[in-house]
Structure 1
Amino acid sequence: MDWNHNQAAAIARIRATLSPDELASAEKVKRINDRYLGLTRDTAIQLAFKNLVASVAWHDAADENRPGKRRILAICGESGAGKTRAIMEHISLLSAMGRYVDEDGNEINPVLIYEPRSPCTPKLLAIEGLRKLGVPVRNNIRENEAWDAFRTALKAHKVIFVVIDEAQHAVVAANAVEQQKIADAFKGLVQMPDWPVRLVLAGVPPLAEFLSKHEQLYTRRTAIRLEKLEGETGLATIDEILSKIAAHGEVSIGVEIDDKFKKRLSHAGAGNFGTIVQMIRGAVELAVLDGSSEVTETHFKNMYLAYSGCLEEENVFTHPNWHELEPLKAFMRVNDETPRKHRARGQKKIKFGDRP
């Protein structure tokens, strides 16, 4: 079955139901979300990716086991910090990481990107990579066999750059022995004398803790932490991205952009760049879909209602004591936190299917 044809047909049918004005608004919303918003931190990320590429260019099989070479790039930050979007953007800017046709006429993608399932084990981490490459894996494969097969498959598919997104899934539930196995596996990937592999790891803070524990990875990695937007610098950044996103949507900001408003916005997005960007885009999208030429406080209020599921009177953009609200818990209600009742001593446990 041609899934691409089916997808195109399904999308075409939806588009046929929209008016020209609705299609124009949809295209504008797409353009708003397609644009990448670079920050000062992107200079460091760009340099780190260029160094990974350069390290492949001077690959020396006889010298590959020497420590101190930065073959691993780790990008850590809270959920919503913009890690994945930044990685995808910088990969797209490097021709060395783009698809090409080899001397045999085969289309090659030198970049493998995958996300391990949670919870994950050292063996499953290798198996997920094999499956992403389209390599069949037998059910009873052993851990060492899985990693051997993964290394072989990378060479066979001419993959040089391996990107593991949400890499904390592999280590957050792992014990000390399993974490050591994963560290050894990462080291083995980037030290193959007959094939240069460079590893990019993205994840939330448990990944940073894992990388800090293992000296064998410390001497082989470049680490970049995507910090929260805090303080005067954070507020200045919020001011900048507000203006940029409004320009992308071809609308003006009809709200007084003072420090109080920017602090409300930062609080709503937990200080995370990616989350704040999505919230601003959400407000601009509402203005575009309304046919409005400016983004108002109502658009921000309605955006937060939709994003958080909060009560009307607990909206960060209208509440007088907004700093006391917890955006991550805005969807919860009082009865959602009812404590579990413990069985009295001697009381039988209720089995599945029985009435209490």
Structure 2
Amino acid sequence: MNMMNTSGSGGRSAAFLNRIVSNQTHKRRTVNEAVGRVLSAYLPTVYDEQLREQIDWLLDSMLLELGEQPGVAPAEGMVRGGRALVVTGQAGAGKSRALAHAFASRPEFDGFGKPGEWCPLLSVVAPSPFTLGALGNEIARKLGYHGRREIQHSKVWPVVRELMAECGVRVLHIDEAQHGDEIRSDTMAQEVENTLKRMMQEADWPIWLILSGLPELSRFCQNDASMKRRVRVLPFEALAFPGHAESVRQTVRDLVAMCPSVGCRELQADAFAHRLLHAATYQFGIVVEYVQDAIAECLMVEGGGELGLGHFADVYAIRTGVRDDDLNPFLADDWTAIPVEAALYEDVVDEAGKLTGARKPKGRSTKGVWK
């Protein structure tokens, strides 16, 4: 059997991408540039300021705990340990994007997201299906461990603690941390919490945690009196109608403004804002994604023009696979009765095919939708 030689694959990949660029028409390149601006846009919310304040608290506590705050004499005795910031919200609330933006924009985390550069913050996504050993091995890989086999469950966390110190990592961010709730055993769930607590309380190299995920994550350390005061929770709340109707319209205007060839005069009514909120399960991050994708649809299919309900309807069909107009909240008359959450998400099953209790966004379907 012939095997493809993968040596120099990075160079070949770059050459292939250069071929695509060199063969783009002017129209394709112009559309791609506009779509790129829209998809990469970050729209600030009230949570950006709250997130900044809570990260300030986390970092200031580090200075005090480690005796490095200028003008403050180090406390006698051992370091008491790190703190934890827990950021919660429903899927699509915008937590992960807000955190990534905060990490990339803070000077304290210089180097974040830049390959080959040191950063005191490490960000990982909790594996699903979830096990404590799988999480430990994911962190170890991110810290540079490249063994042929996974480290055994009983040995991986001492390795993780050693690597954190060697790499100078003080802050660990675990996204989708609610995956720990997939563990059915109360004993194992407690072991996950105890493992993270030990990292925070490590005498030689305490770690500060940022956990982000679904609202159930707010339970972290709440039953431990000694730890409860060391944990803060920042919830990203759902949007509401009519209270956030103007915010939705402003989101549409801000993103459309990046594409001079696209207009949005037809989308400034409360009725549209309400449909969009319902389709997005009242989550800000999904609202932004719908607007971005609708603009991209308008540009790629029609080259621009007036953004309308039809573009959003197409995007909903692409995301969910729903083809029936009566089940599309941008087209149906009785759209408030449509259970969009069931269309957007699917249950997660483990390797044995059993339900884990978690949900994930459905993969996008494009069959029969693109014109």
Q: TM-score scaled by structure 1?
A: 0.83
What is the letter of the counterpart of residue 288 of structure 2? V
Alpha-carbon separation, structure 1, partners of 2:182 and 2:223: 13
Alpha-carbon separation, structure 2, partners of 1:245 and 1:140: 44
Alpha-carbon separation, structure 1, partners of 2:56 and 2:15: 40
Match 1:127 to one of 137, 149, 168 = 137
- The 3-state SS of whatever aligns with 1:146 is helix
Match 2:331 to one of 308, 318, 329 = 318
Deviation digits for residues 27-83 of structure 1, max 9, x if unmatched? 11111111111111111111112222223333427566537x6x1111111111111
**Which aligned pairs between 1:130-169 and structure 2 lie closer than 5 A?**
130-136=140-146, 141-169=151-179
Alpha-carbon separation, structure 1, partners of 2:206 and 2:226: 18
Alpha-carbon separation, structure 2, partners of 1:146 and 1:244: 47
Alpha-carbon separation, structure 1, partners of 2:10 and 2:65: 39
Structure-1 residue corresponding to 2:43: 37
Match 1:275 to one of 286, 289, 295 = 286
Alpha-carbon separation, structure 2, partners of 1:138 and 1:9: 30
Match 1:260 to one of 258, 264, 271 = 271
- Structure 1 contact 116–164 (Cα < 8 Å) conserved: yes
Deviation digits for residues 1-43 of structure 1, max 9, x if unmatched? 3444333222222222320121111011111111111111111
- Structure 2 contact 137–150 (Cα < 8 Å) conserved: no
Alpha-carbon separation, structure 1, partners of 2:163 and 2:144: 10
Deviation digits for residues 231-274 of structure 1, max 9, x if unmatched? 33322321221111111233320314222211110111111111
Residues 1:299 and 2:305 aligned together: no
Residues 1:190 and 2:200 aligned together: yes
> Identity over aligned residues, as a percent?
25
Q: Which moved more, 1:89-98 or 1:292-301?
A: 292-301
Structure-2 residue corresponding to 1:346: none
Alpha-carbon separation, structure 2, partners of 1:300 and 1:270: 15
Task: Decide which structure has the larger Cα Rg and report it.
Answer: 1
- Structure 1 contact 310–331 (Cα < 8 Å) conserved: no
What root-mean-square deviation, in Å, do the aligned CA atoms of Structure 1 and Structure 2 show? 2.5
- Structure 2 contact 245–274 (Cα < 8 Å) conserved: yes
Alpha-carbon separation, structure 1, partners of 2:270 and 2:120: 45
Residues 1:66 and 2:72 aligned together: no
Structure-2 residue corresponding to 1:93: 105
Alpha-carbon separation, structure 2, partners of 1:232 and 1:165: 31
In structure 2, the gaps of 5 or more residues are 1-6, 68-75, 346-371
Alpha-carbon separation, structure 2, partners of 1:228 and 1:23: 37
Aligned-pair distance for 1:319?
Answer: 0.9
Deviation digits for residues 101-152 of structure 1, max 9, x if unmatched? xxxxx94222211112222222322222112212145858554532111111
Structure-2 residue corresponding to 1:48: 54
- The 3-state SS of whatever aligns with 1:255 is helix
Alpha-carbon separation, structure 1, partners of 2:155 and 2:101: 34
Paired residues, number: 325
What is the letter of the counterpart of residue 275 of structure 2? R
Alpha-carbon separation, structure 2, partners of 1:265 and 1:140: 44
